[in-house]
Amino acid sequence: MADRVPNSKLQAVIAEAGISAGALAARITTLAAARGHTVCYTHRSIANWTRKGVQPKPEIRSLIADALAERCGRWISLAELGFAVNEHDDQLGLYFPREPAQAVVTATRFWSQMHRRSFVTAGLGIAAYATPLRRWLTTPVDPHVAQPRPLGTGPRVGQADIDDLLETAHDARRWDSRHGGGYWRLSALDTCLAQRATPLLNGTYTDKIGRQLFSATAQLSRLAGWTSFDAGQHGLAQRHYITALRQARTAGDIPLGGYILSCMALQASLGEFHEDAIDMAQAATAVAAPAATPRTRSFFHLIEARAHARAGDSPAAQRTLATAETLLDHAAPRRDEDPDWIDFYTWTRLSADAVEIFRDLDQPRIAQRWHTAANPTGDRFLRSAGLGGLVLASTYLQPPAVDLDAAITTGHTALTSLATITSARAADYARDLARQLNKWRTSSGVSYLIDSLVDLADSCGSPRSFSLR
């Protein structure tokens, strides 16, 4: 057997990261455990990979890239680390190509493979957002979109094709709000992207039609990301969000790009990457503000306020929340002046998020006052009503005035709303409330509520997603 050649590329990136072999091995082991791999790497493992040129297992290579990317603050490809790239690229969906034609290729390749187990089980790699954010900030709009010749065997695209995609997006938003991200009908999003959007993107279109087409596919990919996020599939959600942002850039739809960044920011914040979340939310405001409606800009500030609250920065959280209120006050009374994708955002949604903001700031009385304006009616927003109820119940367990009876009553009401919801986020909220209640387990009614919360979390069929406190 020929002598192995040292992996100088991996050595160079480790040196750039400034991390010891032991610390890197420990981080890779932690990331692997989160993905369900039982391994234990040491400094000797790092030496084997660098000095002896041993190639780690395919499923571990992307984790090494993630661990180093966290330290370097940028996305790192497997090729940059000197690793053999699998035929099925584990980093597919994380690319943000500069050219529109290449963006079509990478998007359609990802959509054709998005159900791969390695994508569905992957966690959030926050450094993978660095390149998309930087490139979108630099060039939020592609100068040319028209495709006079088909990239493949696709058709000539017309308005009817775009309307069909937008109708699917509309239906998906409704199903998600009512049933949660794990609802079976939302598989129509994946089918639409792989079987309907792909041939259209590879077809022919004018600049005007092309931009509408890319806006529609960006909306669909964002929705696929959101539903994956709600279902606890964070690596898959991240890939959809990055793909959606690239599609929005080709569309020249700057407000939609800002909205996608806000969704990324929410995911990052719930994953405890608060500073990254704040950066993304502020980027959405900075670039999209001139083109976005007041309602849309208000939402950007609301997500930033949530990130500040989770980071424990009360002045910044309250300041950005106040800005969100002011902008929503100036929102157009006619909803048709706003994009369809922001139609969910009303005072009810802002108030519900404000409850969570002040809960996270340990100001339960203010949170409870906000709740009086946050009562969604009907069955369209069952998940929001249920999540809001669990958050409100948790405020009754915060000092200085613990109200155990109110927490129990509110918790059971929330469980009723969530009875038919399939959502890993709902499971997380339920588990956190159960953990918070545990110190009162011997009190009347508490044990039953804890058991009910755990049963709900288990019925969602999802592993623990993110910690919410």
For 403-447, write each residue's pLDDT tens digit.
999 999 999 999 999 988 889 999 999 999 999 999 999 999 999
What is the rounded CA–CA span in Å between residue 331 and residue 346? 10
Helices (H), 51-158: 58-72, 100-113, 117-120, 130-138
- Using DSSP's 3-state secondary structure scheme, residue 156 falls into strand
CB atoms within 10 A of CB 409: 16
The residue written with tokens 């000539």 in the block is 156
Helices (H), 271-379: 274-288, 294-310, 314-329, 347-360, 364-371
Question: Are 175 and 223 within 8 A, CB to CB?
Answer: no
Give me the tens of pLDDT residue by residue for the chain, a chain 469 residues long: 456 799 999 999 999 999 999 999 999 998 888 767 889 999 999 999 999 999 998 878 878 987 887 788 676 778 889 987 655 567 789 989 888 888 888 898 899 888 888 788 888 999 999 999 999 999 999 988 877 765 555 689 999 999 999 999 998 888 777 767 666 567 788 889 999 999 999 889 999 999 999 999 999 999 999 999 998 999 999 999 999 999 999 999 999 999 999 999 999 999 999 999 999 999 999 999 889 999 999 999 999 999 999 999 999 999 999 999 999 999 977 777 899 999 999 999 999 999 999 999 999 999 999 998 776 555 567 888 899 999 999 999 999 989 999 999 999 999 999 988 889 999 999 999 999 999 999 999 999 999 999 999 998 755 445 433 3
CB atoms within 10 A of CB 206: 16
Name residues whose C-beta falls within 8 Å of residue 109's C-beta, 6 or more positions apart in sequence.
92
Token pair in block for residue 171: 């239906």
What is the rounded CA–CA span in Å between residue 201 and residue 213? 8
Token pair in block for residue 175: 């199903």
Strands (E), 316-454: none
Question: Are 202 and 155 within 8 A, CB to CB?
Answer: no
Name residues whose C-beta falls within 8 Å of residue 434's C-beta, 6 or more positions apart in sequence.
449, 450, 453, 454, 457
pTM score of the predicted model: 0.81
Question: Are 69 and 125 within 8 A, CB to CB?
Answer: yes
Q: What phi-psi label fits residue 105: left (phi over 0), alpha (psi between -120 and 50 degrees) or beta?
A: alpha
Q: In the chain, what is the straight-line distance between the N-terminal and C-terminal CA atoms, in Å?
A: 53
The residue written with tokens 């997500």 in the block is 303
The C-alpha angle with vertex 233 and arms to 429 and 392, in degrees rounded to 5, equals: 15
Question: Are 103 and 151 within 8 A, CB to CB?
Answer: no
Angle between helices 424-437 and 446-459 (to 10 degrees): 160
Domain ranges of the chain: 8-81, 95-252, 346-469
In single-letter form, the type of residue at position 215 comes to: S
Q: Which helix (H) or strand (E) holds 266?
A: helix 254-270
